[in-house]
Amino acid sequence: MGAAHRVRGRTMSVHFGCTLCGRCCHGLRLPLTALEARAWLRDGHDVQILCEAIPWLGEPEDPSSLAGYRRGRSFAADSGALALRVVVILAARFAGACPNLKSDMTCGIYPRRPLVCRIYPAEINPFRELQPAAKACPPEAWAPTQPVLERDGAPVDPLTREHIGAYRALDAAESGLRERVCAALNIDCAAVADEGFIIYSPARERLLAALEPGSGGSGTPAARGPWRLVSHRRAAVAAITAIGGVGVLGAPAGAGCEYFGLRPADGGED
């Protein structure tokens, strides 16, 4: 179990066994690799683009740090005079049951299911601790009689560790592709990191075309204007503006996106 798969500081075991409740297959934004996103779109389902951005004031000294992890899965951009790293996530979106969930709560595309489905409920982010209470699974799935899922912050199953490593590698390798997709789709808004996400819902055909090898999404990104950093908090927008960035309060009208907040907005609303 290498350090790349370990949640630092965790020294307990977590037990888990799937109960086929199907809760983890309902109402999700499911992160996908580019290849998985193309397959999902070809199957006639929807994929959204989630964007967040980190003001980037200097390179991390330690590549194994949180800043190093974020750098690896992002691309460089500018917001006015402010340097950024932009994180883009391709996510399958469905309300209610996953379109591939069968009536017996098994997966209809099990042999080709996305990597995140193979990894769940383990965490992909090496800095995020597995919290059973935050998962959709019922309490009996976490009973001590279930098999050990994780020990000392690392999954015990070699295949799960392999899938985590594969997802992280693709997440980093595809950052340039995601940058080109944003350029092709005129995406230029991102939420302030750790506050929320800006969500775009492009037409299936348009996103699929941008993702296809050899398409407009596979060349050098075209010159573009500054990225806009979005928050629902006036203080955050003021702070971004004060350091030279282009800050916007709420999703800009006409940008074709929505804001999903992780922190209370001004006025006490989420």
Strand partners, 229: 190, 247
- Residue 29 structure tokens: 């934004």
Residuewise pLDDT in 10s, the chain (270 residues): 333 344 455 558 999 999 999 999 999 999 999 999 999 999 999 999 999 999 999 999 998 999 999 999 999 999 999 999 999 999 999 999 999 999 999 999 999 999 999 999 999 999 999 999 999 999 999 999 999 999 998 999 999 999 999 999 999 999 999 999 999 999 999 999 999 999 999 999 999 999 987 655 445 555 567 999 999 999 999 999 999 999 999 999 888 999 999 988 875 444
Round to whole Å and give the CA distance between 7 and 152.
8
Round to whole Å and give the CA distance between 227 and 86.
9
Round to whole Å and give the CA distance between 157 and 35.
25
Q: Nearest-CA neighbor of 236 among 227, 249, 225?
A: 249
Strands (E), 70-210: 75-79, 82-97, 148-151, 154-155, 189-192, 196-200
pTM for this prediction: 0.90
Round to whole Å and give the CA distance between 26 and 23.
6
What does DSSP assign to residue 252? Answer: P
CB 153 within 8 A of CB 129: yes
